[in-house]
C-alpha cells in the first residue's frame, strides 16, 4: 500500500464514502450513473493506451467504485447484497473463455 494513503478496509471505506455523499448532498442516482459512465470511460482511456498498472488506472478504478457505492446508497440498496447476488449468479456458471471474455453455456 502506498504510504500516502490511509489503510481502511473495504467495509470502512463504504461507510465513509456513503457519509461523504450525504455530507456533499449528492443524492441523485441518475447523476451518479452519468458520473459512473464518465469514470468507466477513464478506465477505457487508460486501457486503450496500455496503462494497466498506473496511478491513473488506480484512480479510475477507485473513482468508479466510489461512484457505484454512492449510487447504490442513494437507491437504498446494500452494496454487499448486490455483490453477493451477482456472485451467487456467476459462481457455478459453466462456459469458456473466448478471446479473453467469458461466454456462459446456454
80 in any annotated domain: yes
Closest by CA position to 18, among listed 82, 65, 84? 65
Contact 2, 62 (CB under 8 A): no
In a domain, 3, yes or no: no
Asked, for residue 2, whether it belongs to a domain, the answer is no
Q: What pLDDT was estimated at residue 6?
A: 75
pLDDT band for position 2 (cuts 50, 70, 90): low
**Residue 96: strand pairing partners:** 103
What CATH number does the domain containing 44 carry?
1.10.287.1080
In a domain, 45, yes or no: yes
Mean pLDDT of the chain: 91
Give pLDDT tens digits for 39-70. Answer: 999 999 999 999 999 999 999 999 999 999 99
- Domain total in the chain: 1
Q: For residue 1, is it within any domain?
A: no
Q: State the residue range of the domain holding 33.
A: 10-104
Amino acid at each position: 500500500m502506498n504510504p500516502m494513503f490511509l489503510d481502511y478496509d473495504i467495509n470502512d471505506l463504504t461507510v465513509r464514502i456513503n457519509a461523504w455523499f450525504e455530507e456533499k448532498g449528492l443524492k441523485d442516482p441518475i447523476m451518479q450513473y452519468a458520473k459512473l459512465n464518465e469514470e468507466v470511460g477513464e478506465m477505457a482511456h487508460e486501457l486503450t493506451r496500455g496503462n494497466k498498472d498506473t496511478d491513473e488506472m488506480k484512480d479510475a478504478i477507485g473513482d468508479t467504485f466510489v461512484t457505484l457505492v454512492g449510487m447504490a446508497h442513494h437507491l437504498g440498496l446494500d452494496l454487499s447484497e448486490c455483490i453477493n447476488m451477482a456472485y451467487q449468479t456467476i459462481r457455478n456458471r459453466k462456459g469458456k473463455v473466448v478471446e479473453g471474455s467469458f461466454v456462459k453455456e446456454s
